[in-house]
Amino acid sequence: MTRCTLIGAPIDSGQRRPGCLMGPAAYRVAGLAQAISDLGHAVEDRGDLALPALRPARCPNAAVHSLPETVGWTEALIDSVDDALSEGTLPIVMGGDHSLALGSVAGAAGFAARKGRPLFVLWLDAHSDFHTPLTTTSGNLHGTPVAYITGRGGFDAFPPFPAPVPADRVCLYGIRSVDPAEHAALIDHQLIPVDMRTLDEEGIVAPLRRFLARVRAAGGMLHVSLDVDFLDPAIAPAVGTTVPGGTTFREAHLVMEMLHESGLVTSLDLVELNPFLDDRGMTARLMVDLVASLMGRKVFDRPTRSK
Ligand SMILES: NC(=[NH2+])NCCC[C@H](N)C(=O)O
Ligand SMILES: [Mn+2]
Ligand SMILES: [Mn+2]
């Protein structure tokens, strides 16, 4: 039995297409808490975070937008994720765009540092999100958390990242859209993504097994950040940054089932769901279903619907 804390993060400011702020509501409507408690776990929904009073923040890159909001959300998430971990629970952050991971991973990193445990990050995404505020050309800060997590510069407006995560403890999984500046920086940091080509060749299991073995051997904590666009847009249309060629239903579930069996996951983000773009809730429901697999639902536990 795991105790889970649901944290609503109604955040839209990391990109330009409105709708992600409805994410937490969609997860509640799709029955996230029930799906987890049906598996025998305890769940507490803390409701939605509020944006703290904004302080001015500036960035030399004129493309960057919504910096004060993003800094504010980052601060709120650092505290709520750290609190949930300190209470011995598994925080599940219901986003909200991926900029929320600036705060959720920083909160997990602060906690891990106090416990003297290494933090590992599994980034399930079509994108590497490795821009800094200085290199992004879209100006959308949801494309930057992996740079913040690994301690790259350019985040002067943000709280200093507690104990930056070395690049070799970050596993980018399912990647198939990387901007030129990100690509150069990935090479620089020797951060080799497990891209879709690799998954095509090796299968979804082997690279994940290798990573999880390293987390276990190090006695690490594991933060999982699940971006809706990790999934193929055919099965998960409710996202503003679709890229064809994503993971299938079974590949994604297999990842979640392996994560469950590993027993290593200590915090989780659900990001980029834009319910405004959904098709009768199919993406929200799939995300809830994936969380259920992560929390212990087995492949046999599926009902057959007649008609
Ligand atoms: N979390 C995401 N969906 N990120 C998409 C980022 C796309 C692109 N690399 C950008 O920086 O604008
Ligand atoms: Mn992302
Ligand atoms: Mn993405």
Q: What is the domain count for the chain?
A: 1
Look up 227 and say whether it is catalytic.
yes
Ligand 1 in contact with 104 (CB < 6 A)? no
What is the model's pLDDT at position 303?
A: 87
Q: Within a domain: residue 247?
A: yes
Q: Within a domain: residue 306?
A: no
306 alpha carbon to ligand 3 midpoint, in Å?
35
| 278 has binding-site annotation | no
307 pLDDT higher than 80:
no
Atom of ligand 1 at shortest range from CA of 272: 3
Look up 142 and say whether it is catalytic.
yes
What is the model's pLDDT at position 305?
A: 86
Q: Within a domain: residue 304?
A: no
Mean pLDDT of 140-145: 98
What is the model's pLDDT at position 153?
A: 96
Look up 182 and say whether it is catalytic.
no
Q: Within a domain: residue 140?
A: yes
Q: Residue 153's domain spans which residues?
A: 3-294
Single-letter amino acid code for the residue at 257 = E
Atom of ligand 1 at shortest range from CA of 182: 9
Mean pLDDT of 14-22: 98
The percent of residues in the chain predicted with pLDDT above 90, rounded, is: 98
Ligand 1 in contact with 274 (CB < 6 A)? no
Q: Within a domain: residue 267?
A: yes
Single-letter amino acid code for the residue at 17 = R
Q: Within a domain: residue 82?
A: yes
What is the model's pLDDT at position 202?
A: 98
108 pLDDT higher than 80:
yes
Ligand 1 in contact with 143 (CB < 6 A)? yes
| 227 has binding-site annotation | yes
Ligand 1 in contact with 269 (CB < 6 A)? no
306 pLDDT higher than 90:
no
Residue 147 near residue 154 (C-beta atoms within 8 A): yes
Residue closest via CA to ligand 1's atom 6 equals 143
Q: Within a domain: residue 305?
A: no
Banded pLDDT at 101 (limits 50, 70, 90) = very high
What is the model's pLDDT at position 60?
A: 97
| 83 has binding-site annotation | no
The tokens for 273 are 């769901």
Residue 144 near residue 95 (C-beta atoms within 8 A): no
Atom of ligand 1 at shortest range from CA of 99: 1
Q: Within a domain: residue 303?
A: no
Ligand 1 in contact with 246 (CB < 6 A)? no
Ligand 1 in contact with 278 (CB < 6 A)? no
Atom of ligand 1 at shortest range from CA of 140: 12
Pocket test for ligand 1, best of 97, 123, 129 (most atoms within 8 A of CB): 129
CATH number assigned to the domain comprising residue 265: 3.40.800.10
